[in-house]
Amino acid sequence: MTAALSVAFRAIAKSFGIIEALRPTDLDVAAGEFLTLLGPSGSGKTTLLNIAAGYIPPSGGRVLIGGRDVTDLPARRRNIGMVFQNYALFPHLSVADNIAYGLSARGRPADEIKRRVGDTLALVRLEGYGGRAIRELSGGQQQRVALARALIIEPDVLLMDEPLGALDRQLRKHVQLEIRRLHRELGRTTIYVTHDQEEALVMSDRIGVMREGRIAQLGTARELYERPADVFVASFLGESNLLEGRVEALDGARARLVVPLLGAVDGIAAAGLSVGAEASALVRPEDVVVDGAGAGWPAQVEEVVYLGDLVAIRIRLANGQEFWCRRLARLGAPEDAKVGVGWAADRVRVLPGTGTAARAAEPPE
Ligand SMILES: Nc1ncnc2c1ncn2[C@@H]1O[C@H](COP(=O)(O)OP(=O)(O)O)[C@@H](O)[C@H]1O
Ligand SMILES: [Mg+2]
């Protein structure tokens, strides 16, 4: 096995006519890392991946693989494996011939190809399927063929663009775990694109959340979930309750927000806040405490949804706003409609901007 290589994007930008698909973007993917680009449709994920692969040239900036500048190298001279959502298999070729393609194109000898196809079939757990026609395989099996085809060339970097998008939920979970296993076994540097936050959480060493051609925030799943930089990242990763208001006071790591019709809400200050500016307090549903005895802010229970392990409780605050609380189902739901709600101030994050502003800036699907 060859050593894994790092990937670096330096001020990479891409315009299509007047559309700025990527604003100048810097990103360092460590050797052997599994990095996921997560973001809504149109945020520039595929563009960044295609630039890494050499399928499209950037309008500006450089791409480095293993420290070497590959910006001007064509795709076939970069040792990259690519997996697409629609598999892009050759329907008239057998499974084995599809997998062998990268080696045949590189002119490897027949006996080596045969051996490596056998090994790669085993790697993706498709032993005995080499002679099958592509149309005889299920979607999940076809995606494993596509993965095998990308892996057989022992790529320096593995790129995957929403590879599980065409699979149903059950199968998707299964293949997610397979891809994780392969990553652990092979240690290949991987850049994985998805718009599915759960998938990003399950698979990644780090996640880059993309928005409008930029990486809005880069970090581990835990960092992004617990310390989102702004309302967009908070809303994109996990469930969120957002209280909108104005910053009344800033004191080091703490911020106090004044929420109309509700009052003062304290929390941990994110970067980019200033006194008097619009901001939002983020309270995750699992941090909302609903007290049947009525301690805390007065609220009304409107709905209780049983989720098996958890219950989700929809409540309405005195300012008319909806709020969600989640807790373990075995703790039960409050009996009364009139409750008090609260949360620990150190679980609240005060973020710059408001959800209304973030939604208005959202590109249409
Ligand atoms: N070949 C192209 N010609 C014109 N516009 C493009 C082209 N490819 C992508 N775009 C535009 O660039 C933006 C980013 O696209 P893309 O990278 O495909 O986003 P994502 O993969 O996150 O959905 C979108 O506005 C898209 O319409
Ligand atoms: Mg895309």
> Average pLDDT of the chain?
92
Same domain, 191 and 169: yes
Residue 235 belongs to a domain: no
pLDDT the model gives residue 365: 44
In the predicted structure, residue 87 carries a pLDDT above the cut 90: no
Same domain, 337 and 348: no
Instruction: Write the pLDDT tens digit of every residue in 23-36.
Output: 999 999 999 999 99
Residue 42 Cβ contacting ligand 1 at under 6 Å: yes
Question: Which of 16, 18, 362 has most ligand 1 atoms within 8 Å of its beta carbon, as the pocket-test mutant?
Answer: 16
pLDDT the model gives residue 358: 56
Determine if the pTM surpasses 0.75: yes
Higher-confidence residue of 73 and 125: namely 73
- Domains identified in the chain, total number: 3
Mean pLDDT on 118-140: 91
Same domain, 17 and 129: yes
Q: How far, in Å, from the CA of 78 to the mean position of ligand 2?
A: 21
Nearest-ligand number for the alpha carbon of 85: 2
Same domain, 186 and 256: no
Residue 50 Cβ contacting ligand 1 at under 6 Å: no
Mean pLDDT on 77-87: 89
Q: How far, in Å, from the CA of 193 to the mean position of ligand 1?
A: 14
Q: How far apart are CA 221 and CA 34, in angstroms?
A: 12
Domain, as residue range, for 258: 240-284+344-365
Q: Which atom of ligand 1 approaches the CA of 50 most closely?
A: 17
Residue 102 Cβ contacting ligand 1 at under 6 Å: no
Residue 85 Cβ contacting ligand 1 at under 6 Å: no
Note residues around ion ligand 2 (Cβ under 5 angstroms).
46
pLDDT the model gives residue 55: 95
pLDDT the model gives residue 291: 83
pLDDT the model gives residue 171: 83
Q: Classify residue 76 as exposed, middle or buried by CB count within 10 Å of its CB (0-12, 13-18, 19+).
A: exposed
Confidence label for 231 from pLDDT (cuts 50, 70 and 90): very high
Q: How far, in Å, from the CA of 165 to the mean position of ligand 2?
A: 11
Residue 231 belongs to a domain: no
What percent of the chain is predicted at pLDDT more than 90? 78
Residue 208 Cβ contacting ligand 1 at under 6 Å: no
Residue 46 Cβ contacting ligand 1 at under 6 Å: yes
CATH at residue 323 = 2.40.50
Mean pLDDT on 46-70: 97
Higher-confidence residue of 69 and 178: namely 69
In the predicted structure, residue 364 carries a pLDDT above the cut 50: no
In the predicted structure, residue 357 carries a pLDDT above the cut 70: no
Per the DSSP assignment, residues forming a β-bridge with 349 are 268, 282
Cβ atoms of residues 73 and 29 within 8 Å = no
Task: Kindly give, in sequence order, each residue whose CB lies less than 8 Å from that of residue 331, ignoring residues fewer than 6 positions away.
Answer: 311
Residue 176 Cβ contacting ligand 1 at under 6 Å: no
Nearest-ligand number for the alpha carbon of 45: 1
Residue 2 belongs to a domain: no
CATH at residue 194 = 3.40.50.300
H helix runs in the chain, sequence order: 45-53, 95-105, 110-123, 139-151, 169-186, 197-203, 221-226, 231-236, 355-360
Same domain, 328 and 348: no
In the predicted structure, residue 332 carries a pLDDT above the cut 90: no
Same domain, 206 and 351: no
Q: Which atom of ligand 1 approaches the CA of 14 most closely?
A: 12
Same domain, 70 and 151: yes
Q: How far, in Å, from the CA of 152 to the mean position of ligand 2?
A: 24
Residue 21 Cβ contacting ligand 1 at under 6 Å: yes
In the predicted structure, residue 293 carries a pLDDT above the cut 90: no
In the predicted structure, residue 363 carries a pLDDT above the cut 50: no
Confidence label for 359 from pLDDT (cuts 50, 70 and 90): low
Instruction: Write the pLDDT tens digit of every residue in 149-178.
Output: 999 999 999 999 999 888 888 888 888 988
What percent of the chain is predicted at pLDDT more than 70? 97
Task: Kindly give, in sequence order, each residue whose CB lies less than 8 Å from that of residue 209, ignoring residues fewer than 6 positions away.
Answer: 38, 39, 215, 216, 217, 218, 224, 232, 233, 236, 237
Mean pLDDT on 105-131: 92
List, as one string, the DSSP characters of 5-21: --EEEEEEEEEETTEEE
